[in-house]
Amino acid sequence: MKQTQVMAGSALAFIAFLAFCSFSLDQQLFEYYEQVLHSAHQNELQRALGLMLTPNVRPGSMRPKHIEDVQNAVKVMFTSLPKNQAGRISVDVMRYMAHRYFSDKYGWVINGFESENANSSISEARILRSQVPEYCQRVLEGSLATTGFSFQDAAMFVAGVEQLIFDEVASSTELAYHVNDLQVTTKLSQHGLLDVIYSFMVESMVAGNFSDAKQHKVDKTQIDELYPHWHETQLFIDDVIRADDKQSKGKNLFRGSKRKYTFEETVGLTTRISEEFGPWANYECANMKTSMSQWDVQGTGRVKLADFWRNHKPEDNDTPILYESSEYLRKIGALDDSDASLGPQVIIPNYVYSTANCVLTTSHYSVCCLNECNSMLHQLEARFQAPEASASDILIALEENLVNKKFTAHHQALNGTLGGKLLEIAAQNADGMVPIHGRLFAQWLHYVFPRDCPYPHEVGAVMQMLPHEWAAAAGGYNASDPQAEHPTVAEESELQSLQQKPESLLPPARHAGWKMWVSKEHLLISSTASDKWATLFLQFLAGMILGTGLLLSMLKSFRHNVNKVSSSANARKPVQLSLAI
């Protein structure tokens, strides 16, 4: 019996030891491994930054203050994003966070971080050149892809990509010097400065790389035709230079002297222009959306394709200006042809936010329209601080915003059809909650705010392609031929064919777009390989506990049988003594 008690005690001690090991592994060992990975990430970033073409042009941009600014910018989003079992975000979620950060702050759509590429690997994505792709690939396919990104790692990754892009701005500025037959040691007058900055901007707008000096001069003289808002852009550049001059006055200049610009000062200006151009140029997007909304009389966030083409004509004559073909609009996800009885419809936010309207393209990113729906999503993230919320809480939050008139719901009361749709989304999940970063919730937001929130197509259904990318894929287009029609432009025969169809004569319908509702969810992949390890360990631990429990049960049964036999023997012994007497 004593031996049995010892065995039972040993089994219980073994279970306690396993529990202690589990806790220790989850806390101390994992924290140590996290520090090792974070240090490795820091070294990787330093290695990438050390390879930049022109060192020390932007000194201090990766100081702790910059990292802190990025942390403050992404803290709310990081808190609300789905995470793995260790509270870290996966590569899929990291890409999403980086895309949101750069899009909201600069209007940048970084190659490889687009939502359409969320499920592709870094090596497959259209991602940046020079040091940036090397850094991204090493980090996003390295150890952190296995364990996930901590908050510090995520902020460092975003800040690192941001720094490397601005280092590439310095590289492009140097090329702008060379294309103007200038050396970087030359101090520029304001006229020379404008020549360099205009070259920097023009080459970005035509998606060039300074490889053809002759073509660059042609583009520079014809930029007014290539980009109708060039005059406004010149005024913007003048404002940036004037603001910089005011800051410099009294520091390096005597009163009345003419300033000469060093290469470092020129890079400072091109960097500032790169930072501010996206938010500044967004006025074009606002004007475009306002104009299209006037044609959307039913508030569905859609404009009949025939009206879209018809209203693209200038007021002073009947000659149509360039506009996109239905094939191109369909490819970039801006066309709704789900209801044949209504005819094709252009989805306002999908068109406005698409690559068709990106005003500037570099080898690293495109400057596109700011997605106003992200403002609403950020408010919900700050309110819930979780990756999901109940349908009732979401409705309350949106109703408060509607009262504050921060957004305008154009149709469909929240307590009617849309309220029911939100409950359907919640019912698809076992916990009855709504994932606020999922496809279905994004789809629901589109129908609540049809002019502000884009319709989320199913993964792989569309592809954001810049006009020059579409032309390259189509083949046969000669950009140097002034008579050549760009492949993205609708042909006259397509216009006439659509105008002759009876559905083109119908007025805009109130129910337009509802056939696009698809009850198919797509969530960010939040799990990592480390989750599988943890699951295997827990399964092993559960198996050991189960085995120990069975052992204890067997020991208990054995002890019971031993006691039973012993009791029987003791009961028979007195009877034998009685007979002897």
| DSSP conformation letters of 111-123 | TT-SGGGTTS-TT
Q: First-to-last CA distance in the chain?
A: 33
Q: Residues with Cβ < 8 Å from 293, sequence gap 6 or more?
A: 348, 451
CA dist 223 and 217 (Å) reads 10
Residues 264 and 167 in one domain: no
8-state DSSP, 484: P
Q: What is the mean pLDDT of the chain?
A: 80
Q: Is residue 331 part of a domain?
A: no
What's the pLDDT band for 122 if we cut at 50, 70, 90? very low
Q: Is residue 476 part of a domain?
A: no
- Where is the domain boundary, 294, 309, 338? 294
Task: Check residue 56 and give its pLDDT.
Answer: 45
**What is the mean pLDDT of the segment spanning 543-560?**
63
Task: Check residue 29 and give its pLDDT.
Answer: 47
**What is the span of the domain harbouring residue 284?**
188-294
Residues 68 and 26 in one domain: yes
Q: Is residue 127 part of a domain?
A: yes
Residues 74 and 167 in one domain: yes
Q: Is the pLDDT of residue 125 over 90?
A: no
Task: Check residue 54 and give its pLDDT.
Answer: 41
What's the pLDDT band for 118 if we cut at 50, 70, 90? very low
pLDDT in tens, 134-175: 667 777 777 778 889 999 989 988 998 898 888 888 989 999
Residues 163 and 246 in one domain: no
Report field, pTM of the whole predicted structure over 0.75? yes
Residues 207 and 162 in one domain: no
Residues 211 and 272 in one domain: yes
**What is the mean pLDDT of the segment spanning 344-367?**
90
Task: Check residue 241 and give its pLDDT.
Answer: 95
| CB neighbours of residue 292 within 10 Å | 22
DSSP 41-110: HHHHHHHHHTT-SSTTSSTTTTSHHHHHHHHHHHHHHHHHS---TTS-B-HHHHHHHHHHHHHHHH-EEE
What's the pLDDT band for 60 if we cut at 50, 70, 90? very low
pLDDT in tens, 394-453: 999 988 876 555 555 544 456 678 999 999 999 999 999 999 999 999 999 999 999 999
Residues 212 and 64 in one domain: no
Residues 203 and 139 in one domain: no
Tell me, letter by letter, the H, E, C secondary structure of 416-458.
Answer: CHHHHHHHHHHHCCCCCCEECCCHHHHHHHHHHCCCCCCCCCC
Residues 126 and 247 in one domain: no
Cβ(357)–Cβ(285) below 8 Å: yes
Task: Check residue 259 and give its pLDDT.
Answer: 87
Residues 246 and 221 in one domain: yes
**What is the mean pLDDT of the segment spanning 281-286?**
93
Residues 238 and 273 in one domain: yes
Q: Is residue 139 part of a domain?
A: yes
Q: Is the pLDDT of residue 38 over 80?
A: no
Q: Is residue 434 part of a domain?
A: no
Q: What total of structural domains would you count in the chain?
A: 2
Kindly state the helix (H) or strand (E) to which residue 345 belongs, with its residue range. Answer: strand 345-347
* Distances from the Cα of 572 to the Cα of 260, 566, 575, 576, angstroms: 117, 10, 6, 7
Q: Is residue 278 part of a domain?
A: yes
Question: Smallest Cα–Cα separation from 457: which of 357, 303, 331?
Answer: 331
Residues 6 and 96 in one domain: yes
- Where is the domain boundary, 267, 294, 321? 294
- Where is the domain boundary, 263, 294, 325? 294
